[in-house]
Structure 1
Amino acid sequence: MHAPRKNPAHDAEATVSGGFLFGEDETGPAERQVLSYAEILTRLSALIQSCEGCEQVAVIGITRLDALDTDGCNWSSSVVLDPAGVPPEVYAIAYASVVAIARASWNLS
């Protein structure tokens, strides 16, 4: 005889829960930090400067969006940089990854 099938929602040994797939679940996106204009510039600059070859690069401007974008961010991914003589091929990768991470976490107050 076979054991009765357990309801997968209540089966502690189940490997599939149905509520999580590829990093998405029912809780939705994480809460964004709301930061001042100056704080976002400071933090973006610090993140970019932590990347090799970008120690002197600074973010000197960001643009507020009129409405939240599809990701829920209220500032543009196009930021104004002071490259301090660093060639674009050096800072471009740092810029792209830093801005993407920051826009997923921070909103402009």
Structure 2
Amino acid sequence: MKENYSNPTEATLDRIGGKWKTAILCILAEQGAMRNGEMKRELTPITQKMLTQQLKELEADGLILRTVFPEVPVKVVYELTESGWSLKTVLDPLCEWGKRFVKVDRRET
């Protein structure tokens, strides 16, 4: 992640851009806290490696919180931080547009 950006959109897309980050944020905004396996099922065909990488980047950017519960087996839950929730007004229209697009796309095939 850069420190200096030429415009605010560049800073935003640096944090939420890409195929999976926005999808992860939308799912967490819609469904609340989730475990890794639950997200992986929702995001099929994402690989475990890619999911882990994206979650680490979102956590490093302060958009999601990773909570580890000391149980056996270990329980790890991901949820949006306050900064993550602040993206909800941006994510909601993107998610809704995607849902409409997918419905239209599937009907046309």
Same fold (TM over 0.5): no
Which protein is bigger by CA-based radius of gyration? 1
Between Structure 1 and Structure 2, the one with more helix by share is 2
